[in-house]
């Protein structure tokens, strides 16, 4: 095999490699991109039902309710304009608290209730998930939460 031939083969191999990467990535993106919605966007943009998505905002004060005798929890997530009821079955993260930022991943049911498979709270006291901060800023209520967030 000559030098030129070999270079050609190696080039061909790498084209195949990049092609594979592109194909794998594109098909995986089609099924696995998870979009983020704020409670307001769910109302305004008519968010799709039965598709994986993330939602986020503040846990509304006084909205956390445990279903007696089970591990199910219901709470409302708000961006201080609209709110969304979330149902979650399982143990909530340590830093989950009313009035604090939260992100949930799951699906929106036909009844407009969000069924969360995963609930993420902030990692520490001074931290607000960027998505949540962004959606609060857009609803024009960001300043109010800075004071009471801590």
Partner 1 sequence: MIAEAGHFALLLALAIALIQAIVPLIGAARGDAALMDFARAAAQAQFAFIAVAFGCLTWAFVVSDFTVSLVVQSSHSAKPLLYKVTGVWGNHEGSMVLWVLILALFGAAIAVFGDNLPPALRARVLSVQAMIGVAFLAFIVLTSNPFRRVFPPPADGNGLNPILQDPGLAFHPPLLYLGYVGFSTVFSFAVAALIEGRVDAAWGRWVRPWTLAAWASLTLGIALGSWWAYYELGWGGWWFWDPVENASFMPWLVGAALLHSAIVVEKRDALKSWTILLAILAFSLSLIGTFLVRSGVLSSVHAFAVDPARGVFILVILIVAIGGSLTLYAIRAPSLKSGGLFAPISREAGLVVNNLLLATATLTVFLGTLYPLFLEAMGGAKVSVGPPFFNATFVPLMVPLLFLVPIGSLLAWKRGDLAGALTRLWAAACAVLVIVLAALWLQGGPVGALLGLGLAAWLMAGALVEWAERIRLFRAPFAESVNRAVNLPRSAWGMTIAHFGVGVIVAGITATSAWQIERVQLMRVGDAIEIAGYTVRFAGTDRADGSNYLSRRGIFEVTRDGRAVATMYPEKRFFPVQGMPTTEAAIRTTILADLYIVLGDIEAPNAPGGGAPNFLPEPRPDTAWTVRIYYNPLVPWIWIGAVIAVLGGVVSLTDRRHRVGAPRRSRALVPEPAQGD
**Which residues are at the interface with partner 1 (CB under 8 A)?**
1-3, 6, 9-10, 13-14, 16-18, 20-21, 24-25, 27-29, 31-36, 54, 66, 69-71, 73, 89-92, 94-95, 97, 105, 123-125, 127, 129-131, 134
- CB neighbourhood size of 132 (10 A): 23
Token pair, residue 27, equals 């098909």
- What is the CA 25 to chain-centroid distance, rounded? 20
* Residue number, 37 or 83, with CB nearest to partner 1: 37
* Residue number, 92 or 136, with CB nearest to partner 1: 92
CB of 42 to partner 1, least distance (A): 13
- From CA 64, how far away is CA 59, in angstroms rounded? 8
* Dihedral-angle region of residue 95 (phi above 0 means left; psi in -120 to 50 means alpha; beta otherwise): alpha
Please identify which residue in the block is written with the tokens 């050609």: 8
* Residue number, 50 or 111, with CB nearest to partner 1: 50
CB of 113 to partner 1, least distance (A): 20
* Residue number, 54 or 141, with CB nearest to partner 1: 54
CB of 66 to partner 1, least distance (A): 6
Strands 83-89 and 114-121: parallel
CB of 57 to partner 1, least distance (A): 13
Strands 65-66 and 83-89: unpaired
């Amino acid at each position: 095999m000559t030098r030129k031939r070999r270079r050609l083969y190696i080039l061909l191999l790498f084209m195949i490699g990049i092609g594979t990467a592109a194909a794998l990535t594109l098909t995986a993106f089609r099924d696995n991109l998870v979009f983020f919605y704020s409670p307001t966007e769910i109302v305004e943009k008519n968010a799709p039902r039965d598709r994986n998505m993330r939602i986020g905002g503040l846990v509304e004060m006084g909205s956390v309710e445990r279903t007696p005798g089970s591990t199910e929890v219901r709470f409302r997530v708000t961006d201080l304009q609209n709110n969304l009821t979330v149902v979650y079955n399982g143990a909530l993260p340590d830093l989950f608290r009313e009035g604090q930022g939260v992100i949930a991943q799951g699906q929106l049911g036909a009844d407009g209730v969000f069924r969360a498979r995963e609930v993420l709270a902030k990692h520490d006291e001074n931290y607000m998930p960027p998505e949540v901060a962004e959606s609060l800023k857009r609803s024009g209520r960001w300043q109010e939460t800075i004071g009471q967030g801590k």
